């Protein structure tokens, strides 16, 4: 009997293990049935157009089945699009607390939560999560945090972030933003040295050279004004309308007008109609009237522009006194038409304006607003 008892012990142990395993399986099956049932209830609410109850039911289920991260992220995105930011925030907060999230899922959820906070106007909460992501080496956080600092005008925070984590910065738009942060801080603190820091960035920005030239021009330091603006117009000829008259004046004050004419000649191939008009004016100053007329008419045949046509009318009126009055009236109509057209346009979103904005009021991108080109442009 004792021997039989010893023989049955392994059998009893095995039976106990099998029963325990089956019990665990039963519990898992029971939990799955519970989850499926709860999902079904939530979906039934939605189908019955009881959306508030259905969505609230699914949110509560997240505490039971938070392993379905992708589904709940999609649900949170839907809430955000519907403008129900409190629910989107609740889902992302619950997901962020769940211990089974991978590092990638956690970073993505934190970024989405920051976006929720921004839309809800909770900028301090958004900044907290975005700073955490930047410190964790997540470059995806740069776009929203740069936009946030642009909105709050916290230039120094943006600069400090760049100087501490410059290895994350790779996009041209990011460098343009930081260059403008330096400019904004330099102007508010009256510290031009900060603008020179902006010039040293990996990507060349437009505004630092423009502002340094303007500062020099305002203080009648025409040598420096020419230095900065000449470099700017050679690199970014499209922006010549912002300062070409002041640049011409700077050369004139130093009795270097001939150098300005040489510069215009170098820019003809890549410049717009304004550069061509300035070149014509230079030829007129030198007494080459026919050459100026021929150059302008040839340019207009190849690339017609309203501004070029307006200057041609002025040129023809000065040449023929009998028709000057009529041509001047026509030119007034053309000039009035030009005045109705925007001088600047954002290359990213299409926003138009009569003045330059370094940060687009529409899409919030830096240095994407440029002087207009084409038939009505410069």
- Could you tell me how many residues make up the chain? 378
pLDDT of residue 316: 82
Q: pLDDT per residue over 192-221, tens digit each?
A: 888 888 988 878 899 999 999 999 999 999
Q: pLDDT per residue over 315-351, tens digit each?
A: 787 777 767 777 777 778 878 877 888 899 999 999 9
| Contacts (Cβ under 8 Å, ≥6 apart) of 324 | 317, 318
Q: Are 123 and 115 in contact (CB under 8 A)?
A: no
Of the listed ranges 94-108, 183-197, 198-212, 266-280, the least confidently predicted one is 94-108
User: What gap in Å lies between CA 378 and CA 376, rounded to an integer?
Assistant: 7
| Contacts (Cβ under 8 Å, ≥6 apart) of 46 | 54, 55
Closest C-alpha to 315, from 355, 338, 284: 284
Helix (H) or strand (E) holding 273: helix 273-285
What does the pLDDT average to over 226-244?
95
> Residue 367 — pLDDT band, cuts 50, 70, 90?
very high
For residue 218, what are its two tokens?
Answer: 């305002």
> Residue 62 — pLDDT band, cuts 50, 70, 90?
low
How would you label 343-374 residue by residue, b for 16+ Cβ within 10 Å and e otherwise? bbbbebeebebeebebbbeeebbbbbbbbbee
Q: Is 350 left (phi over 0), alpha (psi -120 to 50) or beta?
A: left
Alpha-carbon dihedral angle through residues 262, 264, 269, 272, given to the nearest 10 degrees: 180
What does the pLDDT average to over 139-166?
95
Query: Tokens 């996009």 belong to which residue?
Result: 171
Spacing of C-alpha 198 from chain mean position: 18
Q: Are 225 and 249 in contact (CB under 8 A)?
A: no
**Beta bridge partners of residue 345, listed in sequence order:** 352, 370
pLDDT score of 64 more than 80 = no
pLDDT score of 35 more than 90 = no
Helix (H) or strand (E) holding 106: helix 103-119
Q: How high is the mean pLDDT of the chain? A: 83
> Residue 40 — pLDDT band, cuts 50, 70, 90?
low
User: What gap in Å lies between CA 267 and CA 101, rounded to an integer?
Assistant: 57
DSSP per residue, 50-88:
-HHHHHHHHHHHTTT-TT-HHHHHHHHHHHHHHT-HHHH
Q: Where are the domains of the chain?
A: 1-95
Sheet holding 352-353, edge to edge: 352-353, 344-346, 369-371
With 0-12 / 13-18 / 19 or more C-beta atoms within 10 angstroms meaning exposed / middle / buried, residue 113 is buried
Other CB atoms within a 10 A radius of the CB of residue 54 amount to 18
């Amino acid at each position: 009997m004792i021997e039989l008892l010893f023989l049955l012990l392994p059998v009893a142990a095995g039976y106990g293990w099998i029963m325990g395993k089956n019990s665990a399986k039963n519990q898992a099956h029971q939990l799955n049935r519970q989850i499926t049932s709860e999902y079904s209830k939530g979906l039934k609410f939605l189908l019955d157009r009881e959306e508030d109850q259905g969505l609230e039911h699914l949110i509560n289920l997240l505490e039971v089945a938070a392993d379905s991260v992708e589904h709940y992220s999609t649900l949170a995105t839907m809430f955000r699009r519907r403008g129900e930011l409190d629910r989107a925030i609740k889902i992302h907060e619950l997901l962020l607390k769940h211990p089974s999230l991978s590092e990638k899922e956690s970073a993505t959820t934190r970024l989405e939560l920051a976006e929720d906070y921004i839309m809800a106007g909770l900028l301090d909460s958004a900044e907290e999560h975005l700073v955490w992501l930047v410190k964790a080496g997540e470059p995806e956080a740069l776009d929203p945090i740069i936009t946030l600092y642009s909105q709050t005008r916290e230039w120094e925070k943006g600069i400090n972030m760049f100087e501490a984590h410059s290895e994350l910065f790779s996009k041209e738009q990011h460098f343009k933003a930081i260059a403008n942060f330096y400019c904004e801080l330099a102007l508010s603190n009256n510290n031009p040295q900060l603008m020179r820091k902006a010039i040293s960035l990996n990507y060349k920005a437009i505004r630092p050279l423009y502002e340094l030239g303007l500062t020099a021009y305002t203080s009648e330091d025409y040598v420096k004004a020419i230095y900065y603006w000449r470099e700017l117009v050679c690199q970014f000829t499209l922006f010549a309308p912002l300062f070409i008259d002041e640049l011409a004046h700077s050369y004139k004050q130093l009795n270097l007008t001939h150098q300005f004419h040489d510069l215009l000649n170098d820019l003809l191939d890549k410049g717009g109609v304004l550069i061509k008009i300035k070149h014509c004016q230079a030829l007129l100053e030198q007494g080459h009237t026919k050459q100026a007329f021929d150059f302008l008419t040839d340019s207009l045949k190849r690339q017609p522009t309203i501004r070029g046509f307006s200057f041609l009318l002025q040129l023809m009126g000065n040449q023929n006194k009998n028709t000057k009055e009529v041509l001047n009236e026509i030119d007034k109509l053309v000039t009035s038409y030009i005045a109705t057209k925007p001088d600047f346009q954002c290359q990213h979103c299409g926003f138009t304006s009569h003045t330059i904005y370094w940060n687009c009021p529409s899409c919030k991108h830096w240095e994407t607003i440029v002087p207009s080109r084409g038939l009505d442009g410069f």
